[in-house]
Structure 1
Amino acid sequence: MSFRSLSFIGSLAALTVAAAVLSAPSAEAASRDKRFFDSVSGIWKGPGEIVAGKYKGTKFTCNLTGISSSGETGLKLDGTCRVGVFSQPMSAVITQVGNTYQGKFLDGADGKGLDIVSGTVSGNKVVMGINRAKLNGAMVARVQNETAMNITISVKVEDRMIPVIGLSLNREMDADASASLKK
């Protein structure tokens, strides 16, 4: 596996936490969106696997920290994703701009990363549009509960969406945070 493919895997994996926090804005939705960003902030860790393509079967792990923006609706993400002994730093910034969200993972589609081009939420499921050059796709994140999230990243091939990456994240919690969620 090349370092370039690790960078791509990491970019897609970094989308996982961010995917859980994007939704369509309105006056009511903006407040709901901000609460949602706040609720998924924290440390998320877990395994993933490439399920299609040249690197099918490759397993990786990610350690990501999401921090909701204090004054605006958005998310800052930092962490790493690892394949074997190779580790790739991950970063993302997602902000509300007008009636939509914009964002970049790593240095965006113009560099070695990805652009976020759209996002919607319905209940516990978020769908985010992603783009890099001629690659268009979507990420679907399902928040299972306050400590678990599953993500599928798919790319568009002709008229079909083909799943390429699956990831399961768990929130790392200390005893105080765990006790407060049970209240």
Structure 2
Amino acid sequence: MTRCLARSAMLRCCAALSLAVLVSPLVAKAESNDDAFFQDVAGRWQGSGKIIEGKLKGKRFRCTLDGVPATAPEEGFRLEGSCRSGLLSHKVTAAFLRDGDGYHGHFLDGEDGEGLDVTGGIVKNRTAIIDVKREKVTGAVVTNLMSDDDLNITVMIRGHTKFVPVIGLSLKRQTDGTTVGSIK
């Protein structure tokens, strides 16, 4: 029973983090050129994170995620990959799609299953604040694009009067090391 609860908590944490990676680029350009931003954050991202608060406080994990802009006629972003903690690994999938002036979407199978629903968000400069929901719990995913190759993500849940950080993740863009050039 304890292993099942720990696995479920880890999966939800990984879900929220993966959601952050996907949604941050999506919302970030909702008011301007979405497509250009989606292209800027597309690619493979890897990094480690830590659970900051809750039953699994201090638990570390690692994620590898591939982000791809949605194809026409949809506007948005899709994500696939996995997150691992110790011997446990969980597949991650998500879709974040433009809906008028905002976004909707889901992580894993959404709120109706084991995942989360995206309910909105705002972006200012290189920071996206994405609203997420699961049953009666609401929260936000704050994503800072620190440079072209660095993303910092914090997942927070709403307490009575404030947001409480529960997960932190730092990701680096993975590029292939092949250099192409001319030979003299």
Identify whether the pair has TM-score above 0.5, normalized to the shorter chain: yes
What is the TM-score normalised by the length of structure 1? 0.90
Alpha-carbon distance between aligned partners in 1 of 2:22 and 2:122, rounded to the nearest angstrom: 12
Distance, in Å, in 1 between the alignment partners of 2:71 and 2:177 is 25
2:159 paired residue number:
157
Match of 2:8 in 1: 4
Tell me, yes or no, if the aligned pair for 1:19 and 1:140 is still in contact at 8 Å.
no
Pairwise CA distance, 1:42: 0.3
Match of 1:91 in 2: 93
Task: Give 1:162 shift.
Answer: 0.3
- 1:151, 1:168 within 8 Å by CA — same for their partners in 2? yes
CA distance in 2, matches of 1:49, 1:94: 24
Greater alpha carbon shift after TM alignment, 129-138 vs 11-20: 11-20
Partner of residue 127 from structure 1, selected from 126, 129, 136: 129
Moved more, 15-24 or 44-53: 15-24
Of 2-11 and 74-83, the range deviating more from structure 2? 2-11
- In the TM superposition, residue 24 of structure 1 has moved relative to its aligned partner by 6.4
Name the residue aligned to 1:57. 58
Structure (1 or 2) with the larger CA radius of gyration: 2
Kept in 1, the 8 Å contact 2:28–2:37? The answer is no
Q: Which residue of 2 aligns with 1:13?
A: 17
1:137-182 alpha-carbon deviations (Å, 9 max, x no partner): 0011000111110001100011110000000000000135x88xxx
**1:75 corresponds to which letter in structure 2?**
F
Residues 104 and 41 (structure 1 numbering): CA distance in 2 closer, same or farther, change over 3 Å? same
Other-structure match for 1:46: 47
The residue identity in structure 2 corresponding to 1:37 is F
Identity %: 34
For residues 4-52 of structure 1, the C-alpha deviation after alignment (integer angstroms, 9 at most, x for no partner) is 11210111111121132113635xx2xx111111110000000000011
| 2:152 is aligned with 1:147 | no
Distance in 2 separating the partners of 1:56 and 1:36 = 33
SS in 1 for 2:123: strand
What is the identity, as a one-letter code, of the residue corresponding to 1:159? Answer: T
**Which of 63, 76, 81 lines up with 1:74 in the alignment?**
76
- The TM-score, its normalising length taken from structure 2, stands at 0.90
Q: Number of matched residues?
A: 174
Aligned-pair distance for 1:70? 2.7
Change (3 A) 1:106 1:23: same
Question: In the aligned structure 2, how far is the partner of 1:147 from the partner of 1:24?
Answer: 18
Q: Give unpaired runs (5+ residues) of structure 2.
A: none
Amino acid at match of 1:141: T
The amino acid across from 2:79 in the alignment is: L
From 23, 32, 35, the counterpart of 2:28: 23
| Inter-partner Cα distance in structure 2 for 1:13 and 1:132 | 14
The alignment partner of 1:20 has SS state of helix
Give the root-mean-square deviation of aligned CA atoms. Answer: 1.5
